[in-house]
């Protein structure tokens, strides 16, 4: 298993939230709050680990 640096995981997560915000015409804060509120951040974090 390949170890992914924390910096890469953070960049991936930020990029994902930013792209989600653009797609749905939200601010990045609103997009992050959506992920946080509906526990979706827990769904996308494993994706960051597997990149």
In a domain, 35, yes or no: yes
Query: How far, CA to CA in Å, does 7 sit from each of 12, 24, 42?
Result: 9, 26, 18
User: Is residue 2 left, alpha or beta, with left meaning phi > 0 and alpha meaning psi from -120 to 50?
Assistant: beta
**Does 34 reside within a domain?**
yes
Q: Is residue 1 part of a domain?
A: no
| Virtual torsion, Cα 7, 42, 46, 12, nearest 10 deg | -40
Residue 15 domain-assigned?
Answer: yes
% of the chain beyond a pLDDT of 90: 29
The domain in which residue 33 lies consists of 6-49
pLDDT, tens digit (0-9, with 9 covering 90-100), for 20-35: 899 999 999 999 898 8
Q: In the chain, how many domains are there?
A: 1
Q: Decide if 10 is inside a domain.
A: yes
């Amino acid at each position: 298993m390949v170890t992914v640096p924390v910096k890469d995981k953070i960049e991936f997560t930020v990029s994902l939230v930013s792209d989600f915000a653009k797609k749905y015409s939200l601010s990045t804060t609103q997009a992050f709050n959506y992920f946080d509120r509906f526990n979706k951040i827990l769904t996308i974090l494993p994706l960051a680990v597997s990149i």
